[in-house]
Amino acid sequence: MRTHRPVGGEPDGRDEQALRRLVEQVDRLDHQVEDLTALKSDVDTHTRTLADLTDLLRRVTADGPAAGGGANEAEDADPPVMEWLTVTDPEVAVRFLNDLSVWVRDVFGRYVPGGSVLAPCWPWHPVAIAELLACQAAWIAAVHPKAPLEALAGWHDRWRPGTWHRVTKLLARCERDVDHLHIEGSARHRFDLAYLDELAEWWATTHGAGAEPVEPGVGLAPGLTLHLVAAPTRAAARPAGGRRA
């Protein structure tokens, strides 16, 4: 004969477990809401900062040579936005990458923590270039004579450490490679920094399409050479003692 627990009686073990799970779910939701609130605050802050930088760059452009004063139309036009993932003009891409390589060496590299340096294959990481270009643009705006007093402090406090953190995370696998090679997926490549112009032109016209090699050395970005590791011999593949695994 089945017995029924009276309404309002003490909860059994299953009810207690269900209640605990519900409390845990509510707690997780609370944390997620807090994270989303913090994320919205960060996005709003970056949006305001980018708006300030855009306004400052417009003012810098307006302070350039006046039209008709010997400047041509190209000099009077607004400078291209320093954005790598959408650049399509090969000449602009070459200028971006060459100027950035000098800036990373002479400016950004002087502030890296603990004497660390970026993995030198960073030009073959498009997202890393995009991050560094944004940081460079913020620095250019911050050191302009008409920049607000807090602009350079904001670059040191926000843009520089944030960029360093994200870029080093992107380059972590290459940084750890004992042979100092460039890593893409499961492949390892040697790279040649003398090919920056060709690399920039290739990126502007292809955006990396067809970068996955279909056979050794074919389809790679300019300046890369596939690093081939010799397959182990049968003897080397056997465990100690000469017995097969």
Residue 35: phi and psi, rounded to 5, are -65, -45
Average pLDDT of the segment spanning 153-157: 93
Q: Which residue has the tokens 């760059």?
A: 57
C-alpha pair distances (Å), 37 with each of 43, 195, 229: 10, 44, 48
Q: For position 4, what pLDDT does the model report? A: 52
Other C-beta atoms lying within 10 Å of the C-beta of residue 136: 20
| Mean predicted lDDT score pLDDT of the chain | 77
Report the distance separating Cα 16 and Cα 49, nearest Å: 50
86 pLDDT band (50/70/90 cuts)? very high
Domain boundaries, the chain: 82-226
Question: For 151, how many CA atoms within 13 A lie in the half-sphere containing its CB?
Answer: 22
- Is the CB of residue 189 less than 8 Å from the CB of residue 196? no
Cα–Cα distance for residue pair 217/224, rounded to 1 Å:
8
Which of 226, 203, 202, 229 lies closest to 216, judged by CA? 226
- pLDDT tens per residue, range 97-109: 999 999 999 999 8
pLDDT for the residue numbered 69? 38
At 71 the pLDDT is 40
- The span from the CA of 127 to the CA of 183, in Å, is 14
Lowest mean pLDDT among 37-46, 56-65, 138-147, 148-157: 56-65
Q: What is the pLDDT of residue 64?
A: 46
Please state, in angstroms and rounded to a whole number, the distance separating the CA atoms of residues 171 and 186: 14
Helix (H) or strand (E) holding 188: strand 187-191
Residue 225 forms beta bridges with which residues? 190
> Looking at residue 8, what is its pLDDT?
54
Burial class (CB in 10 A: 0-12, 13-18, 19+), 20: exposed
Residue 235 pLDDT > 50, yes or no? no
Determine the pLDDT at residue 33.
Answer: 63
Residue 218 DSSP label: B
183-211 per-position pLDDT tens digit: 988 889 999 999 999 999 999 999 987 55
Instruction: Give the model's pLDDT for residue 42.
Output: 54
Q: What is the pLDDT of residues 13-70, one digit of tens each?
A: 777 877 777 777 777 766 666 655 655 555 555 555 555 565 655 555 555 443 333 4
Amino acid 37: pLDDT: 62
